[in-house]
Amino acid sequence: METSKTTSLDHLGVGRSARIVQMDLRPMEAQRLMEMGLTVGTRVTLVRRAPLRYPIIIQARGSHLTLRKAVARSIRIQLTGP
């Protein structure tokens, strides 16, 4: 069963996946993330964290992307399976 709990991307555990539900960013920032594949509904997996915890490394649509804290915090996600 899918939980309907939403949180922000910086709270995703390492190795866990989630779906993007919303982005609270300026239009241009949101546009760039979407163009890089992070559209609403996209499944993302948190692959690893950088040594100082941020940036985080996520995998989405087959590519590895790094996100700084501020951006990760502005992306709302819904947790899916492991």
Residue choice 38, 46, 77, 79 for contact with other proteins (CB under 8 A): 38
Residue choice 19, 45, 55, 78 for contact with other proteins (CB under 8 A): 55
Smallest separation (angstroms) from other proteins to the CB of 77: 15
Q: Identity (one letter) of the amino acid at 16? A: R
Residue 24 within binding range of other proteins, rule CB under 8 A: no
Residue 64 within binding range of other proteins, rule CB under 8 A: yes
Tell which residue, 71, 82, 80, has the closest CA to residue 34: 71
13's tokens: 């555990």
Q: Answer for the pair 44, 62: CB distance below 8 angstroms, yes or no.
A: no
Residue 48 within binding range of other proteins, rule CB under 8 A: yes
DSSP string, 69-81: HHHHHHEEEEE--
R_g (Cα) of the chain, nearest Å: 12
Smallest separation (angstroms) from other proteins to the CB of 50: 5
Which residues contact other proteins by CB under 8 A?
A: 26-40, 42, 48, 50-55, 57, 61-71
